[in-house]
Structure 1
């Protein structure tokens, strides 16, 4: 194979690897949007009333736990869509699984920065880590690792 042919094959592999990441991110974004919408319409509109959110346990149960489930679902979906041979690379697979929840968290913090309290900031970042780890663990368990 000529030098030009090798370079072209390498570029095609890089392009395919990037497309696999984009596909995983799209799946994670769709799942995150759908689950967050369901959370907002079901939990926030019907269950999360003012008196229930006054206590730490109420906020943990009605805000942060459902958020962890949404993040875990998005990370799991993105990881499941990220197929071989690209998922064999741990850094690429972690990027595929965690990019959407991390970017969503950064956007959420940027939008609500003025209103964030220390408790909300710490708990939402803890929820991000727990959700990402749970989603990734679910993916690895399905692979039998």
Structure 2
């Protein structure tokens, strides 16, 4: 027991854990912004024309699938940079990997709330889950090799 009756982690250890999380979030944010920029510059500028965006398949292929790749890359990068021994804590590691995509999704929904359709909300959230799971799975697969 400590002086105040709290048996928590040592303050330096908590600070190091927070620093590891912030570092992972920073990398995840950079990767998400860069990949979304590339998506906007390449896909939206050149491929996402009016007729292609009218069909469900076109929207799925040109909006949602590239978004899933961007989210997976961000989750993977954040998880990869999250260092030992903090990777061993499942809640901490999941927070490191998923915080940036989840917060970005929440901000996106808040900013575009009035223009969203049910299809967009459902697919965007499904893409978030698929991308996060794919990025986390890629990180775990690299740990096993």
- TM-score in terms of structure 1 length: 0.94
Does residue 1:99 correspond to 2:137, yes or no? no
Does residue 1:139 correspond to 2:142, yes or no? no
SS at match of 2:84: coil
Question: CA separation in 2, counterparts of 1:50 and 1:73?
Answer: 28
Question: CA separation in 2, counterparts of 1:27 and 1:43?
Answer: 23
Task: Provide, for residues 37-83 of structure 1, a one-character-per-residue CA deviation record: whole Å limited to 9, x for no partner.
Answer: 00001000000000000000000000000000000000000000001
Corresponding residue number in structure 1 for 2:119:
119
Corresponding residue number in structure 1 for 2:70:
70
SS at match of 1:84: coil
Please state which structure has a larger fraction of its residues in helix. Answer: 1
Corresponding residue number in structure 2 for 1:32:
32
Corresponding residue number in structure 1 for 2:49:
49
Corresponding residue number in structure 1 for 2:21:
21
Corresponding residue number in structure 1 for 2:109:
109
Gaps of 5+ in 2: none
- What is the deviation of 1:3? 6.0
SS at match of 2:83: coil
The number of residues matched between the two structures is: 141
Question: CA separation in 1, counterparts of 2:109 and 2:86?
Answer: 31
- What is the deviation of 1:101? 0.1
SS at match of 2:95: helix
